[in-house]
Structure 1
């Protein structure tokens, strides 16, 4: 890669790294796993960057690569025996941004979202990022109608999980 292409990539990654961090938070349970996934996503983005044609926004392309990487690694990790208890997961949230009630609600929401399948998790993530259904469908490779139907079903499922 040329220095200019490398500089463009680093700039885009720095400007959009919050996307990767949010995906890592959704698919990991601890700090080390978060760092590992962030690194793996960055590597996959770097490898794929020369093929990025600019047909979509960089952030949309980044979502797709990051989600595909996270889902692939998540599926591989599901084959191993999980030894960490979900109750032991502690989310690091700045006290000045959230009060205790909001923090507890956020923990419950993350726990509920983790119970969804891979595609549903990705859809919820994009929805919570205020992506419109057109962007969601492009990122996930599904129709816009399918994205809307799935989101309505997911909302119902999350309500059931959160309010048994």
Structure 2
């Protein structure tokens, strides 16, 4: 495959999964500039790794894995304390005040999770199976199930205390 064909193929596939990359950027950053910077960093890392993608896993799984690893590394390097400001996996428009309040409390509770727990809950909210989450995060399926249970318990507790 020529470099131009490789680039065109990459751009097409990234375009198809752009929303997924945005979700990770939004999950790990508060302000717009950081979100854009992280998005670009993820794209750059995907491009570097793309020639080595063998198709042993789904493309979305591979993208999520690189995106999450990039986000965690990016945060460590930048030494910033970035949290969820908006998550595309949850509704952005909420009409009634009570639902909006619950949504904001949930966002606050998610802000308090560590990076891996944020990634796991994002993947779960996106409808990924335990097997897929395990593959993306590098955890075992049993560990994923345990973590999801603990995350849900923590979020319920945090929401009931507010």
Task: Report if TM-score (shorter chain) is over 0.5.
Answer: yes
Aligned partners of 2:67, 2:28: CA distance in 1, in Å? 11
Unaligned runs of 5+ in 1: none
The answer on 1:163 being equivalent to 2:153 is no
Q: Is the 8 A contact 2:28 2:71 kept in 1?
A: yes
Q: Which runs of 5+ in 2 are unaligned?
A: none
What is the CA–CA distance in structure 2 between the aligned matches of 1:35 and 1:117, rounded to whole Å?
21
Q: Does 1:113 align with 2:110?
A: yes
TM-score (norm 2): 0.86
TM-score (norm 1): 0.85
| Cα drift, residue 58 of structure 1 | 0.7
Distance 1:56 1:147 in 2: 18
Matched, 1:75 2:71: no
Q: 1:91-130 counterparts in 2 under 5 A?
A: 91=86, 97-101=93-97, 102-130=99-127
- SS of alignment partner, residue 131 of structure 1: coil
Question: Which has the larger displacement, 44-53 or 106-115?
Answer: 106-115
**Deviations, residues 80-139 of structure 1 (Å, cap 9, x unaligned):** 5x6x9x8xx97599x994325444433322221121111111110100110000000000
- Residue in 1 that maps onto 2:136: 139
Shift in Å, 1:143: 0.6
> How many angstroms apart in 1 are the aligned matches of 2:150 and 2:11?
38
Structure 2: how far apart are the matches of 1:144 and 1:46? 29
Instruction: For residue 151 of structure 1, report the CA deviation from its aligned partner.
Output: 0.4
**Number of residue pairs the alignment of both structures matches:** 157
1:15-57 superposed Cα distances (whole Å, 9 cap, x missing partner): 0010011111110101111111111111111111111111011
**Contact kept? 2:23, 2:87, Cα under 8 Å:** no
**What SS is found at the alignment partner of 2:16?**
helix
Q: 1:44 to 1:96 in 2, by over 3 A?
A: closer
Q: What are the within-5 Å matches in structure 2 for residues 2-13 of structure 1?
A: 2-13=3-14
